[in-house]
Structure formats: structure tokens, C-alpha cells
Amino acid sequence: MIPAETTAGAAPDIENINVADFDSMPSPDEIHARVPLSERAARTVLGGRETLRGILDRADPRLFAVVGPCSIHDPAAGRDYARRLKKLGDELSDALLLVMRVYFEKPRTTTGWKGFINDPDMDDSFKIAKGMELARAFLHDVAEMGLPAGTEALDPISPQYLGDLVSWTAIGARTSEAQTHRELASGLSTPVGFKNGTNGDIDVAVNAILSASRPHSFLGINSEGRSAIVRTRGNRYGHLVLRGGDGRPNYDTVSIRIVERALAKAGLPASIVVDCSHANSDKNPELQPLVLSDVMNQIRCGNTSVLGVMIESNLVGGKQPIPGNPALLRYGCSVTDACVDWETTEKMLREAAEALRECRRVV
């Protein structure tokens, strides 16, 4: 039966009934034009990717460490952190490749601040166009310092805006199982680390690595911001990131051996990154040094599958709630997951470098 309002000539409410508005977004080309890629930044990005591939191919004996804030909310504090990390990275470069963790998008279990791109002013104004441009400017500044950056690919459109400034990408525990993110990863220009599921399931990540290594075709946008069919070649630099799950760690010797066997069964190289935070440290930053110490001891004892680590770190340890007035935020302190402070970070990385020198994993 045809609804009465249709027969009367009025259009029925069928489409977008829960959408309040559509705000225009600058295209990737427009954002690129506002923050163009410099030659020095391009060299940093390409050099970081090349070194990461070398580590994953076992051509480079070093360990890579993705280190930095749980999320970027204050670009000034983030640049301060980047300068310190760059200096330390130069000093430890014989043993470690330091990649700054630059996360702009935060998946939420229910609600909460979704990150710098989504709400750069932290006041629920959701100025996404502003956030995207500022995020690109921040990544460019980090690359200009000569420091490679790693980030999480959460929104499938964001890489068109930022991807040329990223050297390493993570697919998070909540999205490793998603077809959208596996397809996205298959076309990324960076090595991609897939985290195990939030319940600790490693099969999710193993299957994601396999899927992302294959070509895909899917809907996306091009550099002009137009809808496009994206056709990818597949990404052969997928690897597994262990972050624990359901309150249990999975960085111990037995867990890593199980992961090695699962990767071998799938015909994949045993390329593992250990996340020292999240469930591996029970979200307690004070335990992150213990996780790293355990991992380095495994490497001392002959482990060759752990090729990288992740550390959630900031200028100031712990975390803080977001106040009604963002001006009251404490400088250099996380607003998402709790982090170790800079002094602890420096000590952790120096000790890791020394352990690698002892077992000759240096260049």
C-alpha cells in the first residue's frame, strides 16, 4: 500500500532521518596545499619506512620502538616531546629505531573525546577540518625534525590527508577484525602492525595480516575528495602487535612461542611487536618498564621474532581528566591512557639499547 503522503505528492522522510547536517570538508588536495610536504620531511618519512622494512626483512638487526603519548592533544607539548625523542634516537641509533607515536584518533568503548582530529578544541565543537589541518601540520613538524612517526588508522578517509607523513601504522584491537580496516591496510604505503583482539585472540590479527597482504577493491575517496573505487596491490609488511587481552598479558615466553607457531601455520614470518601498555601492563604505567625488561631478556636469550616494542609515554607521567576549561590542562600529561614520564622513558630505552648491544643486535 502506498503511503498517503506519497500519493499527495509530498516526499516521504526516508533518507538521512537521523542526520542533522552535512558540513563541507576540504579535499585532501586542499589540505596538502595548505601544508605541503617539504623535501626534508619526505626524506624522513621514506627513510623511516625503508628502515622499518629492513628490520622486518631481518636485513637490519636493530629493534624499532614506537614511543610517545597515548594521544596528541596539545601540539606544543607534542613538539617538545618530539625534540627530546629525536635527540635520544640519534644517540641510540646503533641499536634502536625510534618512531614517535602520534595518535590523533581514539576509538571509544562507549563515549568520550575521540581525538585531536575530531575535536581539536576539546569542547565538543567538532571542528574536524581544523583538526585535520593541524594534525597534518604537526606530523610535518615532526618529520622536519628528522623523526619518523607512527599512528593508528581508524577513520578510513584520514590516510588520504595524512598518509604521506606516516612511516608506520597500527590497526587497533577493536578494528583488526573489520573488513574495512583490512582493506585499508592493504593499500597503505607503510608497514602495518595489527593488534590482537581486546579479548586476547591472536587469530584475528593473523587473519588480518593475511587479508591485508592480498589485493582489494573498495569504496573510498581520491585526492580530490571524490568517491572512488580504491584498488590495492596488498601490503606484505603486515605484522602482529601483542597488547594482551581481558586483563591478561601475552608478552611472556610461552605466549610468544604460541604466536610464532600460529604465524608459521599461516605461512607468515614471525614478526612480532610487543605493546608494553594496555593489558600487558594492566594499564598501569609503572609496569611498562617491567614488560620491556622481560622482552629484552627474551631477546638476550635468543628470541629473534620480537622486532619491535611500543611504549605509551609523555612528558609527565599518569593521566588527567579533561576539564571544562581546556586551558587548565596540565602541560605534557595524557588525557587518555596513563603514560610513563620522560625520565622513565629515557631510562627504559637506554637499558633496551644496552641489552641489544650485549647480544650484538646493532649496526
User: Which CATH number goes with the domain that contains 325?
Assistant: 3.20.20.70
Instruction: Kindly tell me if the per-residue pLDDT of 5 is higher than 80.
Output: no
Instruction: Kindly tell me if the per-residue pLDDT of 1 is higher than 90.
Output: no
Please report whether residue 36 resides in a domain.
Answer: no
The model's pTM: 0.95
C-alpha span between 105 and 115 (Å, rounded) = 5
- Domain range for 178: 47-358
Average pLDDT for residues 123-148, to the nearest whole number? Answer: 97
Please report whether residue 39 resides in a domain.
Answer: no
**What is the number of alpha carbons within 13 Å of residue 29 lying toward its C-beta?**
6
CA-closest candidate to residue 43, choices 137, 135, 144: 144
Instruction: Kindly tell me if the per-residue pLDDT of 8 is higher than 80.
Output: no
Please report whether residue 103 resides in a domain.
Answer: yes
Are 256 and 275 within 8 A, CB to CB?
A: no
Q: Which residues pair with 193 in a beta bridge?
A: 170, 239
Look up residue 106 and give its amino acid.
K
Please report whether residue 25 resides in a domain.
Answer: no
Please report whether residue 66 resides in a domain.
Answer: yes
C-alpha span between 205 and 201 (Å, rounded) = 8
End-to-end CA distance of the chain: 76
Instruction: Kindly tell me if the per-residue pLDDT of 4 is higher than 50.
Output: no
Q: Give the pLDDT confidence of 89-112 residue by residue, as tens digits.
A: 999 999 999 999 999 998 776 678
User: Residue 13: its pLDDT value, please?
Assistant: 86
Band (360; pLDDT cuts 50, 70, 90)? confident
C-alpha span between 64 and 37 (Å, rounded) = 25
Please report whether residue 41 resides in a domain.
Answer: no
Instruction: Kindly tell me if the per-residue pLDDT of 63 is higher than 90.
Output: yes
Please report whether residue 197 resides in a domain.
Answer: yes
For the residues of 334-360, what is the DSSP string, one character each? BSSS-BB-HHHHHHHHHHHHHHHHHTT
Are 97 and 62 within 8 A, CB to CB?
A: yes
Average pLDDT for residues 320-344, to the nearest whole number? Answer: 96
Band (12; pLDDT cuts 50, 70, 90)? confident
User: Residue 2: its pLDDT value, please?
Assistant: 47
Scanning the structure block, which residue is given the C-alpha cell 585472540? 201
Q: Give the pLDDT confidence of 169-209 residue by residue, as tens digits.
A: 999 999 999 999 999 999 999 999 999 999 999 999 999 99
Exposed / middle / buried, residue 282 (Cβ in 10 Å: 0-12, 13-18, 19+): middle
Please report whether residue 21 resides in a domain.
Answer: no
Collect all residues with Cβ–Cβ distance below 8 Å to 138 and sequence separation of at least 6: 72, 75, 78, 79, 102
Q: Is 178 helix (H, G, I), strand (E, B) or coil?
A: coil
**Domain count of the fold of the chain:** 1
Average pLDDT for residues 104-122, to the nearest whole number? Answer: 88
Band (27; pLDDT cuts 50, 70, 90)? very high
